[in-house]
Amino acid sequence: MTTLDGRDSPQPPNSPPTVGQSAVGNTGPTVQVGGPNHGNINITRLPKLPVTPVPRSDQEAALEPVWAHTPTPQRAANLLAAHGLAVIMGERGTGRRISAVRALHTHLATPAGPPQLFDLASDWDEDEAPEREALPEPIAGHGYLVDATSRFLSENAARALITWAEELHDAGGCLVIISNQRDGWGDNRFEIGAVRPDAVQVARNHLAHWGSHAQAGWLQQDVQRTGTRGLLRQAAPDRTAGALSDLITRSVSPADAVAIARRLRDIDPERLAKAVERRDTSSSPEREQGVSELRRIREEVLLWTNFLEQTLTGTGTRGQDRVMLLAAAYLEGAPLELCIKAATEFGARDEAVARRYREGRSPRRRLKDVGVDITSSDTAAFRSRPGLALSAIRMDWHHWADEREATTKWLARITTPEGVARAWAEQIGSRLLELSTTEVESPFFTLLNTWTTTSPDEQRLHIVTALITQAAETEELAREAHKQLLDWAMKGHAHRRKVVAWACSGRYGMRWPHMALVRLRHLLAVDDEATRIAATALTAHAAASTEGFQRVVETVETWLERYQTHLAGPRAFLALTDPAYGVLDTLVRAAQAAPAIRDFLINGWMQTLRQPDVRDDAHQVLLGWARAAHEGRLDRTATFGILTDVRNAHTPLDAMSRFLYGSPGQDDHALIEARLALANLRACNHTQCSEPHCPLKEAPGSRPGTSAAGGTGEPPS
């Protein structure tokens, strides 16, 4: 079995999970059971929230010599020392995350070694709070970072994290939360504002760290003071020092400063040195060439800002030129004729509009004039101006605000199944996603909604799945992406439901398993193709690891208990117990060692058999059990023992009636063998029926030590 990402699914756990008896709704360390009972009772805990080590690149950026000093980390470290918790608040571009990492290092580092730093996934929905048992256990020297910039933390969630931080503090650990300035935290004792670092210093530090000392010198701002420092003056001062000192303003974000430094690193020092030399000559033509080359270097590093400013908004710029550039930017690499056809689709669809692009200058000339290269194979490119395409898209969206609606409709029109740019939908979606990280009112989610409505093509739906997964992994878009997936899962549109199912079976489900299970529950309410994809995703998660197995079993058990009229629980149970999915063998082996798993199977069948909407599916799964036992793929004694408990615990209903007593035309040998086995096995009182008036209810004291309460106390998913 493979996931949407093309990777093989992990194999099921080799041994049954160590799950013992359980107690519904219990959160304490002790359970007192009335009546005779023998043996240990284990409290089943919720699976821990996913944690991942803070990336090495982030840790390096937070330490010398790359760090650009601000007061934020020390203030946060002081709060960590006092409370074990600090909340760094600020807008994007204020260095919140790297300041948080440095604060953790400052507080936890010891001469014995660096601390252990982890990102804690906020894998709970906005109306929920993390349960204490799902949070990591406090360990000295362990620091955690929660990114709340892409989601809203409720009051309950904030209180839960504060309580947990107190435990961390007592054990020698700590927690830093980064949050948007506009999101109220609710307790200003822990809040500090992020102070933006000097962008020039960030860029220079990174260049020096990479060994690009010449490029770091170009950004030097006080050249005269630096050149005369010390007893020995430089015999031949570097004339390139400070040549680009005004390239980066102090308002640039740290991330953008690093991106500029990377592009600056690609500039050949010899190229800039020659430009400076020409600029400083007395010859007028040479000087003009030097100034022009320096201007071009600046434009290249800053992604052609001034060039586009003149091209898109300068006096005399014609609308046709702007749209031609826009078409080439979205369709970079496409045949030139396709770009021209796409440009003619912009605005009103009439012959006069289409004809304008072929009057006067030729279309190729128009494209060259706005910075587009034409390759030998007659395709649109930006080789001489790398980065111009996305920069043009951003600037067009920013400067032509009154054209945004027209631009959105144009992109939707040219990417319909009959549109001229239908084959370029993935690239267009990727460029809109990048646009969305910096601009308001981006058409990214609008276009995804349009694509899922108008195109039944599975390839297009897979593109949407990949894009919305990437959006969920992007800080600026994560909140909207989570909300969009939940909205699509709850509503009945078939194409959008398939996208959600594929997302939950891929990277999204691996990174946010709890939120994925919530969305799968909504998908399983309706019987369609998305339901079958969701069932496969559920079983794949259960087969991935022991923790995944436990998470899915406990979640499905919660669905069965709390949503008794909802079909998600029975459908999920049938998927887990269907021999075709490969989880049943693990379940049956686990049931032999863990009464809680046995109870899950028995109670699950009881709840499922009550639902007439899954009657045929339940019968097919029961038949699959019989065949698997007949062929030796399941342990016969364990399998028929569980089914005996199901039979005895309740008056047989629907699918169980057909399974036990037959139906017209049913003469399968495996089924006949199963009936004989069930007929010859004596009644088992292992489980107590949940129905108050059940005639088979166990008499007090009849078989001490064999009762096990079902459930895990997991909050509703």
Residue 322: what pLDDT?
A: 85
Beta carbons of 164 and 135 less than 8 angstroms apart? yes
Whether the link from the prior residue into 704 is cis, omega within 30° of 0, is: no
| Matching residue, tokens 């509503």 | 491
Q: Residue 193 pairs with which residues in a beta bridge?
A: 89
SS3 assignment, position 706: coil
How many CB atoms within 10 Å of residue 343? 29
**Host H or E run for residue 53:** strand 51-53
Beta carbons of 618 and 658 less than 8 angstroms apart? no
* Identity at 76, one-letter amino acid code: A
Which region, left, alpha or beta, applies to residue 701 given φ > 0 means left and ψ of -120 to 50 means alpha? left
pLDDT at residue 316 above 80? Answer: no
Alpha carbon distances (Å) from 705 to 21, 598, 600? 11, 15, 18
pLDDT at residue 5 above 80? Answer: no
Which region, left, alpha or beta, applies to residue 496 given φ > 0 means left and ψ of -120 to 50 means alpha? alpha
Task: Name, in order, each residue with C-beta under 8 angstroms of 360's C-beta and a sequence gap of 6 or more.
Answer: none
Beta carbons of 363 and 336 less than 8 angstroms apart? yes
Range with lowest mean pLDDT among 232-236, 464-468, 679-683, 695-699: 695-699
Task: Work out the pLDDT band at 9, boundaries 50, 70, 90.
Answer: very low
Average pLDDT over residues 508-513: 93
Range with lowest mean pLDDT among 10-19, 94-103, 142-151: 10-19
- The chain-wide mean pLDDT, for the chain, equals 83
Angle at alpha carbon of residue 66, lines to 193 and 173, rounded to 5°: 55
* Identity at 366, one-letter amino acid code: R
Return the exposure string of 549-574: e unless at least 16 CB atoms fall within 10 Å of the residue's CB, then b: bbbbbbbbbbbbbebeebbbbbbbbb
Is the pTM value of this prediction over 0.85?
Answer: no
Pick from 216, 205, 256: nearest CA to 95: 256
Alpha carbon distances (Å) from 421 to 205, 334, 418? 43, 9, 9
Beta carbons of 551 and 17 less than 8 angstroms apart? no
SS3 assignment, position 143: strand
SS3 assignment, position 335: strand
Range with lowest mean pLDDT among 155-159, 317-321, 442-446: 317-321
Q: How many residues does the chain have?
A: 717
Helix axes 269-279, 284-301, angle to 10 degrees: 140
Alpha carbon distances (Å) from 515 to 50, 100, 518, 702? 12, 26, 5, 43
Residue 161: what pLDDT?
A: 94
Pick from 310, 332, 321: nearest CA to 387: 332
Task: Work out the pLDDT band at 135, boundaries 50, 70, 90.
Answer: very high
pLDDT tens digits, 597-653: 999 999 999 899 889 899 899 999 999 999 999 999 999 999 989 988 888 775 554
CA atoms within 13 A on the CB side of 175: 30
pLDDT at residue 656 above 70? Answer: no
| Matching residue, tokens 């009959």 | 418
Tokens linked to 438: 């910096």
Angle at alpha carbon of residue 386, lines to 55 and 393, rounded to 5°: 85
Which letter does DSSP use for residue 678 in this model?
Answer: H
Strand order in the sheet with 51-53: 51-53, 116-120, 142-147, 174-179, 85-89, 191-193
pLDDT tens digits, 278-312: 998 888 889 999 999 999 999 999 989 888 888 77
Q: Residue 119 pairs with which residues in a beta bridge?
A: 52, 145
Give dist(CA 74, CA 192) in Å, integer.
11
Angle at alpha carbon of residue 285, lines to 282 and 289, rounded to 5°: 105
How many CB atoms within 10 Å of residue 76? 27
Beta carbons of 260 and 302 less than 8 angstroms apart? yes
Rg value, the chain, Cα: 32
Beta carbons of 717 and 558 less than 8 angstroms apart? yes
Higher confidence at residue 35 or residue 110?
Answer: 110
Give dist(CA 578, CA 584) in Å, integer.
6
Helix axes 546-562, 595-609, angle to 10 degrees: 40
Residue 168: what pLDDT?
A: 97
Residue 34: what pLDDT?
A: 46
Q: Residue 534 pairs with which residues in a beta bridge?
A: none
How many CB atoms within 10 Å of residue 694? 14
pLDDT tens digits, 58-81: 999 999 899 999 999 999 999 999
* Identity at 582, one-letter amino acid code: G
Angle at alpha carbon of residue 8, lines to 535 and 617, rounded to 5°: 20
Average pLDDT over residues 352-371: 69
Q: Residue 355 pairs with which residues in a beta bridge?
A: none
Residue 702: what pLDDT?
A: 40
Residue 658: what pLDDT?
A: 60
Phi, psi of 524 (to 5 degrees): -75, -5
659-668: long-range contacts, CB 8 A cutoff, minimum separation 24: 659/619, 659/622, 659/623, 659/626, 668/623, 668/626, 668/627
β-bridge pairing 174-179 and 85-89: parallel
Task: Work out the pLDDT band at 33, boundaries 50, 70, 90.
Answer: very low
Give dist(CA 392, CA 400) in Å, integer.
11
Average pLDDT over residues 11-23: 45
Residue 318: what pLDDT?
A: 57
Average pLDDT over residues 528-557: 93
Higher confidence at residue 412 or residue 150?
Answer: 412
Average pLDDT over residues 684-712: 42
Secondary structure in 3-state letters for 483-532: HHHHHHHHCCCHHHHHHHHHHHCCHHHHHCHHHHHHHHHHHCCCCCHHHH
Considering the chain, what percentage of its residues have pLDDT values greater than 90? 58
Task: Work out the pLDDT band at 359, boundaries 50, 70, 90.
Answer: low
Angle at alpha carbon of residue 640, lines to 634 and 646, rounded to 5°: 125
pLDDT tens digits, 520-536: 999 999 999 999 999 99
Residue 69: what pLDDT?
A: 92
Give dist(CA 356, CA 358) in Å, integer.
5
Phi, psi of 631 (to 5 degrees): -90, 0
